[in-house]
Structure 1
């Protein structure tokens, strides 16, 4: 099934002409305006952002971003007073409103207050921090773990601190922004290999290993944009053959992959100790906020005393640490949640593919994209689905190349088969209407 019309953000010739005319008027107005060195117009990407805004305005399309929710955003949510089936949250196992998780957070607030108030290095530890880190280390089969206040900041500070200008970071082309920012911060030479192409990664590593002091091979366990997974055994073998560290970002794998939700290592029958650094977040399956890394005790202790994003940043709030710990406990005790999510992912992927939608390489786990090949097409479909009571966000240029624009569905164990069938039917109806309208 073809969605949108390809180039020019999926606009017709007439719409493209209208957009060009509108932008031309804007540029004339800008040219006549006095120079203002404080107007931020030199910011990178600002003009691309303006182009998208102008395209949305010219077509009278409301922005699909930063929409307020009136209630908990789980498998269902309330937007503008209306209940919707929600596919825009990472609540993969439906634990965000679990009363046991909420109770653990309340107990921690009553005992420790709302905030850690300062860096844990400065203000001291709360027992819940250590308990969470011990549980995370056990979950990944590692010696130790360290929790940070933000998942994004975890990758930035760990990668930025671990590597240096004489090092090489080899990463998947689809790696998360947080990893890219950490790599930039490190000053290391950065080399991207085509998505999930372990053969290309091996060739690149063989070509660049000489002269590099240290090498970090960086992949994800479950890619957030495409919903696919790498061949972990291949990447382990590559890292070992070329004396490189292997770091796997499991942000979207925890609670999703493997029969008990232990991640890609469990799903592919691999000893997790073969991976040097596991990274994950608490904001998805674990219904809290923050990030963590696990690995050898010496490495984790070094980070604890030297990583800027830990030493100089406030510690994770005790209530969030307690909530994440309780969610992890529930995950371990109730693997049926993981099985339900897997069944939902497989069903939804099948429904969309049977309807002819392009779902890319998604494995049907917790993330299923619908590639529209048009930013405007993606925004239009998102708006039509919202009117039908289905909330799903578009991913558009410049976040992805124009031909890769998409809707991205995040699934939950709390979705019912009826939710999934309704969403698939609404998508098919909206797409058909959009194609008829040209």
Structure 2
């Protein structure tokens, strides 16, 4: 969290904070100075300095806010009701009585856990039903579920690619994808966000020395709320003999007339994508992830992917919740239409008040790019004080001067909710004043 400081100023700040922290650490650790001292880890050291920076500015962290109850379009945080834009409950199905009933029925029949890996402990028909409907959602032959969306990308990419391969990916791709590439040992080549010309240039340059290649995109980017040109991406992958994988974690239920994602929204044949990835934790109101692809690919992953073979199967109530949510989404497309209308409306309201919303489509994710991480954190706290919960993204999760607030819209938000949020952000921003330098450096 640099607040837009220059490199020199940031280093000076860290040095001062390090001295201050050292003075405060009066009790020496028994492992201090040894290789067993966890505090010598670069990441842990930087985290400690950031904590000290927050304390030195008398700022409370905007992270890990505790919800007391269901986090839908509204929630309760700190003993007060808030309008909630911090959750991925896109179609309002988390808490739907039909979804809850399906989860309870699954517990009654199967218990809370499947108590083992599916390959050795045995199958449940519920998993197979869910996977068949997920495959159909993407026009694929088969699908395989995993217990975590993050783990889905890590294990699939890590298993699919190897040290002689290359992965060309959007610079804004999710951490789970880059972790999967790191595990695989493949060469990782990012390209400028949503720039298909840059994608083709990087793929062409790196393909000739690689055994296999993967072009990796998101269907709806969670950081910016925009989408790639899918047809162009398919063409690029084919021209350069590469697989195309699309992470639809935030696209399902959000894009397209019936919520099938970016392919439906852009009128593209989904079979042009080799690997569709999705999560169960957003629109489908459960937890987990999945891959949809050709049947032989899924069969291979089912029998060999570490995240499937060496992991417990998806918990029955989660599988049932996702399956019921998927069926409701398909039966009630008006939910998708309402979500998209709300997204467009919030985008317009924020733009009218002069906020930078980047390239957001206004589908369900609307960022407000603030710049300074410190100002962003202060705004998030000020918004919560005004009764609006939203997400913050600070350095180092994004580059300096790209810190932002993110609004995640729900089909259950009302016009009053959207107007209130936009008005409160305008008020909070106007009353915050200048927050451009840190103590002793500005």
TM superposition score normalised by structure 2: 0.93
**Match for 2:357 among 359, 373, 396?**
359
User: CA-to-partner distance for each residue in 1:282-313, whole Å, 9 max, x for gaps?
Assistant: 00000000000001000000000000000000
**What is the match of residue 372 of structure 2?**
374
**What is the match of residue 244 of structure 2?**
246
Map 1:11-160 → 2, pairs under 5 A = 21-27=16-22, 35-160=33-158
Please give the alpha-carbon distance, in whole angstroms, between the structure 2 residues aligned to 1:373 and 1:403: 4
User: Does 2:207 correspond to 1:212?
Assistant: no
Map 1:37-436 → 2, pairs under 5 A = 37-435=35-433
Please give the alpha-carbon distance, in whole angstroms, between the structure 1 residues aligned to 2:286 and 2:27: 50
User: CA-to-partner distance for each residue in 1:172-221, whole Å, 9 max, x for gaps?
Assistant: 11100000000000011111111111101111111111131111100000
Matched length: 431
User: Does 2:10 correspond to 1:7?
Assistant: no
Query: Compared with structure 1, are the counterparts of its residues 20 and 302 closer, same or farther at alpha carbon in structure 2 (3 Å cutoff)?
Result: closer
Please give the alpha-carbon distance, in whole angstroms, between the structure 2 residues aligned to 1:147 and 1:37: 40
Q: Is the 8 A contact 2:218 2:246 kept in 1?
A: yes
TM superposition score normalised by structure 1: 0.94
User: CA-to-partner distance for each residue in 1:238-291, whole Å, 9 max, x for gaps?
Assistant: 001011000000000000000000000000000101110000000000000000
Q: Is the 8 A contact 1:8 1:16 kept in 2?
A: no
Please give the alpha-carbon distance, in whole angstroms, between the structure 2 residues aligned to 1:6 and 1:331: 41
Query: Compared with structure 1, are the counterparts of its residues 299 and 437 closer, same or farther at alpha carbon in structure 2 (3 Å cutoff)?
Result: closer
Task: Name the SS of the counterpart of 1:372 in structure 2.
Answer: strand
Please give the alpha-carbon distance, in whole angstroms, between the structure 2 residues aligned to 1:249 and 1:140: 12
Instruction: In structure 2, list runs of 5 or more residues that go unmatched.
Output: 437-442
Q: Is the 8 A contact 1:137 1:145 kept in 2?
A: yes
Q: Is the 8 A contact 1:19 1:58 kept in 2?
A: no
